[in-house]
Structure 1
Amino acid sequence: MSPQQKALILPEKRGDFEVGSRRIPSPGAGQLLVKVQSAALNPIDYKIKDTGAVVTHYPAVLGMDIAGVVEALGEGVQNFRKGDRFFTRFAPVCIGSTLVYRLAHGKRNNDFTAFQQYTLTVASFTAKIPSNESFDSAATIPTGLDTALVGLYGNHYGAGITPPWTKSAAIHESKKPIAILGGSSSVGSYAIQLARLSQFYPIITTASPRNEELVRDYGATHFFDRNLSGKQLLAAIRKVTRGPIRVVYDAISLPETQSVGWELLADNGTLVLTLPASVEEHEGKGRKTIQTFGNPHTPENEELGRNSWARVEKWLSDGTIQPNYYEVLPNGLEGIIGGLERMRLGQVSGTKLVAHPQETQ
Structure 2
Amino acid sequence: MSSHHAIAIVSPGVIDQIDFPTSTPIGNEVLIKVQYTAIVTVDTYQIDRAFYVQGYPHTLGFASAGQVKAVGPEVKNLKAGDKVAAYNFPAPKTKGLQEYALVPQPLVAKVPDDYNLAEAASIPDNYTTAAFTLFGSSNLALPLPTSFPPPSPPSDASQPILVHGGAASSGQYIIQLLHLAGYTQIYATASPKNHAYLKELGATQVFDYHSPHLADEILKATNGHKVSIAIDTIGAKPSIEAYSPVLGKESRLALLLPVKKGAAVRNEEQDDMSSVLPPWVYELVGGATVFPIATFRMFERQDPATLDFMPKLLPQLLASKALRPNRIRLFKESDGPILERVKTALDLHRENKVSGEKIVIELKWN
Do 1:7 and 1:115's aligned partners in 2 also have CA atoms closer than 8 Å?
Answer: yes
Distance 2:151 2:302 in 1: 20
1:127-150 per-position Cα deviation (integer Å, ceiling 9, x unaligned): 111245211111111111111122
Structure 1 residue 74 corresponds to structure 2 residue 72: yes
Distance 1:271 1:169 in 2: 25
After superposition, the Cα gap between the structure-2 partners of 1:174 and 1:297, relative to the gap in structure 1 and judged at 3 Å, is closer
Report the residue type matching 1:322 in the other structure: R
Report what 2:274 is aligned to: none
Identity %: 24
Do 2:157 and 2:185's aligned partners in 1 also have CA atoms closer than 8 Å?
Answer: no
Distance 1:187 1:315 in 2: 16
After superposition, the Cα gap between the structure-2 partners of 1:213 and 1:67, relative to the gap in structure 1 and judged at 3 Å, is same
Report what 1:360 is aligned to: 365
After superposition, the Cα gap between the structure-2 partners of 1:60 and 1:280, relative to the gap in structure 1 and judged at 3 Å, is closer
Report what 2:57 is aligned to: 59
Distance 1:291 1:332 in 2: 38
Aligned length in residues? 339
Distance 2:330 2:221 in 1: 38
Do 1:246 and 1:267's aligned partners in 2 also have CA atoms closer than 8 Å?
Answer: no
Distance 2:146 2:156 in 1: 13
Measure how far apart 1:32 and its partner are: 1.8
Report what 2:44 is aligned to: 46
Identify which range, 203-212 or 169-178, moves more after superposition: 169-178
Report what 1:145 is aligned to: 127
Report the residue type matching 1:79 in the other structure: N
The alignment partner of 2:299 has SS state of coil
Report what 1:259 is aligned to: 241
Report what 1:30 is aligned to: 28
Do 1:261 and 1:271's aligned partners in 2 also have CA atoms closer than 8 Å?
Answer: no
Report what 2:272 is aligned to: none
Do 2:215 and 2:244's aligned partners in 1 also have CA atoms closer than 8 Å?
Answer: no
Report what 1:182 is aligned to: 165
Instruction: Specify every segment of 5 or more residues in structure 2 that has no aligned partner in the other structure, as ranges.
Output: 260-276
Report what 2:305 is aligned to: 304
The alignment partner of 1:5 has SS state of strand
Distance 1:284 1:180 in 2: 15
Work out which of the residue numbers 212, 217, 222 in structure 2 matches 1:241: 222
Do 2:219 and 2:246's aligned partners in 1 also have CA atoms closer than 8 Å?
Answer: no
Report what 1:289 is aligned to: 290
Structure 1 residue 6 corresponds to structure 2 residue 5: yes
Report the residue type matching 2:319 in the other structure: S
Report what 2:349 is aligned to: 343
After superposition, the Cα gap between the structure-2 partners of 1:344 and 1:173, relative to the gap in structure 1 and judged at 3 Å, is farther
The alignment partner of 1:239 has SS state of helix
Distance 1:119 1:129 in 2: 17
Report the residue type matching 1:69 in the other structure: Q
The alignment partner of 2:106 has SS state of coil
Distance 2:251 2:161 in 1: 11
Measure how far apart 1:69 and its partner are: 0.5
Work out which of the residue numbers 319, 325, 328 in structure 1 matches 2:327: 325
Distance 2:329 2:302 in 1: 30
Measure how far apart 1:20 and its partner are: 2.2
Do 2:83 and 2:113's aligned partners in 1 also have CA atoms closer than 8 Å?
Answer: no
Measure how far apart 1:49 and its partner are: 0.7
Distance 1:149 1:331 in 2: 35
Distance 1:10 1:251 in 2: 26
After superposition, the Cα gap between the structure-2 partners of 1:152 and 1:119, relative to the gap in structure 1 and judged at 3 Å, is same
Do 1:70 and 1:85's aligned partners in 2 also have CA atoms closer than 8 Å?
Answer: yes
Instruction: Specify every segment of 5 or more residues in structure 1 that has no aligned partner in the other structure, as ranges.
Output: 92-101, 103-107
1:256-287 per-position Cα deviation (integer Å, ceiling 9, x unaligned): 11123322113221111112345443567641
Do 1:296 and 1:302's aligned partners in 2 also have CA atoms closer than 8 Å?
Answer: no
Do 2:244 and 2:285's aligned partners in 1 also have CA atoms closer than 8 Å?
Answer: no
Structure 1 residue 160 corresponds to structure 2 residue 159: no
The alignment partner of 2:155 has SS state of helix
Do 1:162 and 1:169's aligned partners in 2 also have CA atoms closer than 8 Å?
Answer: no
After superposition, the Cα gap between the structure-2 partners of 1:295 and 1:121, relative to the gap in structure 1 and judged at 3 Å, is same
Distance 2:19 2:285 in 1: 55
Do 1:178 and 1:247's aligned partners in 2 also have CA atoms closer than 8 Å?
Answer: yes
Distance 1:45 1:283 in 2: 29
After superposition, the Cα gap between the structure-2 partners of 1:73 and 1:238, relative to the gap in structure 1 and judged at 3 Å, is closer
